[in-house]
Amino acid sequence: MDYPRHGRPWGSAAQPHTPPPPPAPEQQQQSSFTSETPAIKLECYLTHGIPTVDTYTTTTGTIPSTKIPSFLSPYWSPPDQNPPEASLRLVCVEQEWGVDHRFFQHPINPAVHKALGLPEDYGFLAWKGAGGCGRYTVATAVPGSSSALPAVVYFFHRTSASSTVSLVLRYNPKIKQTLGYLLHTRRMTNYLKEILEGIQLGFREWQHALVVPIVGVDLTCRILTEKMNSAHKDLMAVELKTGYSAWVSGPRDKAGADTTNQGGEGVSLEGLARQLGQLNGDFGFLDVAIATTALRVDFILRELEREQREGGPLLGNENVSERVGLLKSRLENLPFHCAIKDRLASQQTVLFNLISQQDSSVNIGLAADSKELAAASKRDSSSMKIIAILTTLFLPGTFISTLFAMPLFDWESSSLSDVANGGHFWFYWAITIPLTMLVMGFFGLYAWYQEREKKRSVQRAREGTTGDFKVKEV
């Protein structure tokens, strides 16, 4: 989606952005700033011609890191040119993926900040945490004169953990001279060309250091808008899966979510929960980025008002403050884009209800299965009772028939007294009775041991729950 031209302070119409891919792991481990590391430089000069034609020249290229201090010196002038009416010299230094402060630890860093006129205590620029915006008023000595020209140093330190750009600019309003450096991570490298082009176009219209942060804020607004559109599409996909959304057409019961976790074409509630969690995290970072960018815009507006009060060069281009005001309005309205925050909260509630319904369905199924199991157990119990009764009924007869079938009995004897064969029947009772008592005693001992262990387990559980314990004396 293209944005209206009047919404961009300077430059051509916006083109959709594709976020650059993260660097490879081996690239992340490399040092990002050494004495041999080249930096990107930008030079813009506006020179009054004779008699009336002005010349505006811009140059981009690379510069060795060892030459950065002299390049940012306020006394440096472009070769083979008349003294410019206005000038801008900017150095762009790439940092590691994430927070990297090797630039501040490098030996050339004190020389760079000395050239910009910063005091010795500038350690806050290397903070790994969130920074902010501010300004210093410094003075530049005039060679061969005892007077000094006042200058302002603007600081735009990365304002959150997700920010990628820090900016330091020195501006001399008397000679319209802007000097500074821009630190950016590799995520912003793909946007660097567009940033430099926007600065070149903007500096032609208004020769002021605030051109640089205004171009950066404009690009940030468009990137945030694209990310909000992406979040809206992702959230809409979740809403279509749950079936609770203004985007769902037709009866809601037909568009509802398939609350199964069996995979296939069904919607996994676990997967939806992960998607919503990721969307909430992404939107949280977007919300912070919008708020911190708005703080930068507020700082720029305050500086523009200061320029108006002091009669600075803004009077020659008064629509700058209106353009910045439009950026502020975009940032203020961006959090309400497609009601993403409220829709996220609504989908969290919907997902919780769907999971609760799924749990209720599972519990109902378990209850039905338990009821059927209880009925089956009851039927099995009745069968076992019948079997036990029949066994008890036939047990005496079975025992007697087995006993009489033993060879100790001779049923063919002529008299009943001779049935017990040989008078050895007493051996059966002499062995059976002690053996039966031994077996019963063994099982009785085993039952007693099991009961004692059960009581000990209950006691240990009670002591662990109530905290009752005894201290072992040494």
DSSP 37-57: -EEEEEEEEEE--SSS--EEE
Most trustworthy range by pLDDT among 89-98, 268-277, 400-409: 268-277
- 3-state SS assignment for residue 258: coil
When pLDDT is cut at 50, 70 and 90, the band that residue 260 belongs to is very low
User: pLDDT, tens digit, for every residue of 150-193?
Assistant: 888 898 887 666 667 888 999 988 888 999 999 888 778 788 89
Backbone angles phi, psi at 337, to 5 degrees: -60, 115
CA distance 264 to 40: 52
**Band of pLDDT at residue 43, cut at 50, 70 and 90:** very high
- Tell me, what amino acid is at 360? S
Q: At what angle do helices 340-404 and 269-310 cross, to 10 degrees?
A: 160
pLDDT at 250 over 70: no
Distance from C-alpha of 460 to C-alpha of 450, rounded to nearest angstrom = 15
- Residue 259 confidence (pLDDT): 46
Place of tokens 């005001």: 325
Q: Is the pLDDT at 2 greater than 80, yes or no?
A: no
Asked if the model's pLDDT at residue 451 lies above 80, the reply is: yes
Taking the CA atoms of residue 365, residue 366, residue 368 and residue 373 in that order, the dihedral angle to the nearest 10 degrees is: 140
Confidence band for 25, pLDDT divided at 50, 70 and 90:
very low
What pLDDT is attached to residue 4? 31
Q: Per-residue pLDDT tens for 383-408?
A: 888 888 888 888 888 888 887 787 77
For tokens 């959150």, the residue is 160
d(CA 337, CA 202): 29
Q: pLDDT > 90: what percent of the chain?
A: 17
The mean pLDDT value for 102-111 works out to 67
- Assign 20 a pLDDT band (cuts: 50, 70, 90): very low
Pairwise CA distance, residues 252 & 239, whole Å:
12
pLDDT computed for residue 97 by the predictor: 52
* Helices 269-310, 211-242: crossing angle, 10 deg rounding: 160
Contacts 24+ apart (CB under 8 A), 56-65: 56/204, 57/81, 58/200, 58/203, 60/196, 62/38, 63/38, 63/39, 63/91, 64/36, 64/38, 64/39, 65/33, 65/34, 65/35, 65/36, 65/37, 65/38, 65/39, 65/93, 65/106, 65/108
E strands present in 142-215? 148-156, 165-172, 177-184
CA-wise closest residue to 133 among 108, 110, 167, 104: 167
Q: Residue 278 and residue 451: Cα distance in Å, rounded?
A: 54
* Contact residues for 166 (Cβ-Cβ < 8 A; gap 6+): 125, 131, 156, 157, 158, 182, 183
**pLDDT tens, position by position, 192-225:** 899 999 999 999 888 899 999 999 999 999 999 9
| Cα separation values, 313 from 45, 130, 305, 339, Å | 16, 32, 12, 41
Read off the tokens for 442: 């063994």
- In whole angstroms, how far apart are CA 72 and each of 117, 135, 225? 10, 18, 35
Question: So what's the pLDDT on residue 423?
Answer: 67
**Angstrom distance (rounded) from CA 44 to CA 29:** 35
Q: For residues 347 and 220, what is the distance between their CA atoms, to the nearest angstrom? A: 28
> With 60 as the cut, is the pLDDT of residue 73 above it?
yes
- DSSP per residue, 261-299: -S-TTSPPHHHHHHHHHHHHHHHHHHHHHHHHHHHHHHH
The single-letter code of the amino acid at 73 is S
| Type of residue at 94 | E
Residues 88, 93, 97, 101: is their CA dihedral positive or negative?
negative
Q: Which residue has the higher pLDDT, 365 or 414?
A: 365
pLDDT > 70 fraction of the chain, expressed in percent and rounded: 70
Which has more pLDDT, 24 or 285? Answer: 285
List alpha helices for 2-106, DSSP H.
25-28, 68-71, 102-105
CB 191 within 8 A of CB 182: no
Measured distance CA(233)–CA(338) in Å, rounded? 10
Tell me, what amino acid is at 279? L
The mean pLDDT of 440-464, rounded to a whole number, is 90
Q: Omega of the bond prior to 51 within 30 degrees of 0, cis? A: yes
